Structure 1
Amino acid sequence: MVASELIPKIKMVAPGTLLRRALDDIVMAEFGALFVFLDDTQAQEEILQGGFYIGSSFSPEKLYELAKMDGAIILDESVTRILAANVQLAPDSSLPTDETGMRHRAAERTARQTGKFVLTISRRRKVITLYYRDHKHQLHDINHLITRIYQTIGTVERYKGNLDKKAARIQRDEFLDQVQLVQVTELIRDGVAIMNLLAEIDPYVIETGTEGRLPAMRLNSVREEVDAMLQLFIKDYGVPKYTDAEVAGVIDALGRREPADSIRIANHLGWRAVTETDLHDIAVTPRGYRLLKQVAKIPLATAENVIDRFENLTNLGFADKDALMTVEGIGEKRAKSIVEGIQLMRDRGGYR
């Protein structure tokens, strides 16, 4: 998995940027090249030896011409100026590196020693490699990336379809007051798995730059829908009444370690010391956040007022228009839409 620290660096060299245009031209010309990105050359004078100072504004054409020389090219970190060229790098030779070529060994050690972004182009293999601190990443062929991304889109959208089916089954059981804790934990587990899969593919989508705008839109659409579903289920079924910030913390905590098993999810929801058997035996009742979102689309603050008044979906399901209108933020129109929305959902499910 690509380190999160590398994401901004991958964005810097994505297709559509001026820097990437220069890199592609250098690759096509079969030049080898080495670039170091830093603002203060004097602070690294022990590593940077020889070469000559340029101090010119950046352009792809200038970078291409300078790449014809053997030494490293120094650019500022915002890629607006070319500071020096034909520089020899002399990093600490005791620093570890798995590279074999002299250019790549110098690049990796320089990145480790300075903590700066370093980039190489292999003349023979025509591969662009990024180094940043202790991280390394090779850019992929754009066609290979697009194929991989669309394969992931197919997988994610299929998983999302299954997640929607589980949510629909839970909704049916909610009106029958027959939801088991295991149903909720399994749905959250599957939702977290989708979010983790999206996080894994994100660096490769970023790497496609302007070429990947369409698949990026499809993946972001799935991400927003799954994230919204997870938030509402946690707010509905958490034992404590979680704030939005606390909900985000739960999702983040579950996503940091895989697999997000049902027992751990139950613990994050506030159920302590539960066993696998308990998950099947414990009946749970939602507060009603998802219902209010679906039938009335009211603001969250107003939904909070409704939940505070009726406590859970069971009570809310039996509330009439007059009772709803006693809640701050609920007028006659909203009260009517809630009552009619609940009735419509009951009719569709065949239960009253």
Structure 2
Amino acid sequence: MEPETNSSAAGDAQVPEGASAEKEPTIEERLEEAIAITAPGSAVRRALDMIIAGHLGALICVGDTDTVLSAGNDGFPLNISFTANRLFELSKMDGAIVVDRDLTQILRANFHLNPDPSLPTSETGMRHRTAARMSLLTKALVISVSERRQVVNLYVGGRSHQLRGVAELMTSASQLITTLQTTRQALDHALLRLTTLELDNYVTLADVTTILNYFETLMTAADEIDRCVVQLGSEGRTVEMQREQLVGDMESEYLLMIRDYARDSSEGNAEAIREKLHAADPSQWRSPKRVAKVLGYDDLREDSVMVPLGLRTLSRVSVVREGMADKIVDEYGNLRELMDDIEQNPSRLDDLGVKNPSILADSLYRMWGKKE
């Protein structure tokens, strides 16, 4: 006989006809939330640190309380306010501790859980097996603290995440910051060179591939740092500031770079290309042929010359206001056509609404190195 499960009030509520149901969070989103509420600086993390320091074990269920309570028995009904100290003291008893989703009430202690033993799990210890099965049976976050190994595992939807210590996370973050620094320096140098090549009208597919590779390395390291920051909680503020300083607005510059060289230069297509590059194996970033294909070309060689629209270069000029670069590109077609015409016929820029066309021309020529 299958165990009876009772949904929470929110789960039982019927969606009115014509109304859209709230989108269920994915397991990845739920796991990210679980990591955030157990990060250093949180009340839950303070309790977990005390449990480990006291060489205790614990099994804690957070949320989906109706279903959790229907999957067990016995224990002590408490319904008391949640605090880190109370959670620690209650962990000295056997059984599970049941806490509401908002971490405001401790509902049960010394609660005996009886999840369906047929639910699959690769865990070996009794506490971890129970935690994994409860996370499959319910929508609760299940936290398991190993008394013997002194580690904490989070279980969401059958997936497990082991909490890492602050020292270990800071070491990883430091290594990633170093990667960001070296990559950003290389990228800045490559982009300066690219601007000159663009104005010389001699950018090759190999040049574009190299820079997209730098962008992806930078963004991948930034994503890893973001994950470290979430896990570091209140200890991650300095790391977050370093990350922001090094990455800055490079995300928008990356998209402008893609739009400059993609066959379809629309913003939506650039976003799609960005996602494809980010999802690809890093080795594919270094293949000009694969980069050409994702940009929408099938007949380019490594030494093929590519003509940029000029969106990235124009966006770096102070007199080009937001949205103006697109208008200029629509009018001229690409950066090369703009450079050929900019001195002979500056009134075209006036007509587009560019203030001080001479400053734009001067800025572009300075980037090109043709004027002092």
Q: What TM-score do the two structures reach when normalised by structure 1?
A: 0.89
Taking a change above 3 Å as real, the CA distance of residues 219 and 256 of structure 1, as seen in their structure-2 partners, is same
Q: Give the CA deviation at 1:351.
A: 7.9
Give the Cα separation in 2 of the matches to 1:265 and 1:76: 49
SS at match of 1:202: helix
- Aligned amino acid, residue 340 of structure 1: D
Partner of 1:308: 330
1:298 counterpart = 2:323: no
The answer to whether the 8 A contact 2:65-2:98 is kept is no
Q: Give the CA deviation at 1:341.
A: 0.7
The answer to whether the 8 A contact 1:189-1:265 is kept is no
Give the Cα separation in 1 of the matches to 2:78 and 2:104: 13
Query: What do residues 117-163 of structure 1 show as CA deviations (whole Å, max 9, x unaligned)?
Result: 11011222221111111211111121111012101111221122222
Give the Cα separation in 1 of the matches to 2:227 and 2:240: 11
SS at match of 1:88: strand
Taking a change above 3 Å as real, the CA distance of residues 287 and 95 of structure 1, as seen in their structure-2 partners, is same
SS at match of 2:184: helix
The answer to whether the 8 A contact 1:46-1:90 is kept is no
1:251 counterpart = 2:274: yes
Q: Give the CA deviation at 1:225.
A: 3.9
From 172, 178, 193, the equivalent of 2:202 is 178
Q: What's the Cα RMSD here?
A: 2.2
Give the Cα separation in 2 of the matches to 1:40 and 1:299: 54
Q: Give the CA deviation at 1:317.
A: 1.8
- Aligned amino acid, residue 278 of structure 2: G
SS at match of 1:209: helix
1:20 counterpart = 2:42: no
- Aligned amino acid, residue 266 of structure 1: A
Partner of 2:108: 84
Partner of 1:101: 125
- Aligned amino acid, residue 65 of structure 2: D
1:266 counterpart = 2:292: yes
Q: Give the CA deviation at 1:3.
A: 5.2
Partner of 1:230: 254
The answer to whether the 8 A contact 1:15-1:208 is kept is yes
Give the Cα separation in 1 of the matches to 2:82 and 2:238: 30
Query: What do residues 69-126 of structure 1 show as CA deviations (whole Å, max 9, x unaligned)?
Result: 1111111122222121111111111223232221111111111222421101122222
1:339 counterpart = 2:361: yes
Mapping of residues 57-206 of structure 1, within 5 Å: 57-206=81-230
Taking a change above 3 Å as real, the CA distance of residues 134 and 263 of structure 1, as seen in their structure-2 partners, is farther
Query: What do residues 31-74 of structure 1 show as CA deviations (whole Å, max 9, x unaligned)?
Result: 21111112332x34442221122222211122122112111111
Q: What TM-score do the two structures reach when normalised by structure 2?
A: 0.85
Taking a change above 3 Å as real, the CA distance of residues 9 and 297 of structure 1, as seen in their structure-2 partners, is farther
The answer to whether the 8 A contact 1:37-1:77 is kept is yes
1:287 counterpart = 2:309: yes
Q: How many pairs were matched up?
A: 340
SS at match of 2:79: strand
- Aligned amino acid, residue 234 of structure 1: I
Give the Cα separation in 2 of the matches to 1:126 and 1:248: 43
Query: What do residues 304-352 of structure 1 show as CA deviations (whole Å, max 9, x unaligned)?
Result: 111111111112223144221110x323x3x2331221122123xx589
Give the Cα separation in 1 of the matches to 2:138 and 2:331: 58
Q: Which runs of 5+ in 2 are unaligned?
A: 1-26
- Residue identity (%): 32
The answer to whether the 8 A contact 1:181-1:279 is kept is yes
The answer to whether the 8 A contact 1:39-1:75 is kept is no
Give the Cα separation in 2 of the matches to 1:45 and 1:83: 9
The answer to whether the 8 A contact 2:362-2:371 is kept is no
Give the Cα separation in 1 of the matches to 2:55 and 2:237: 29
1:324 counterpart = 2:349: yes
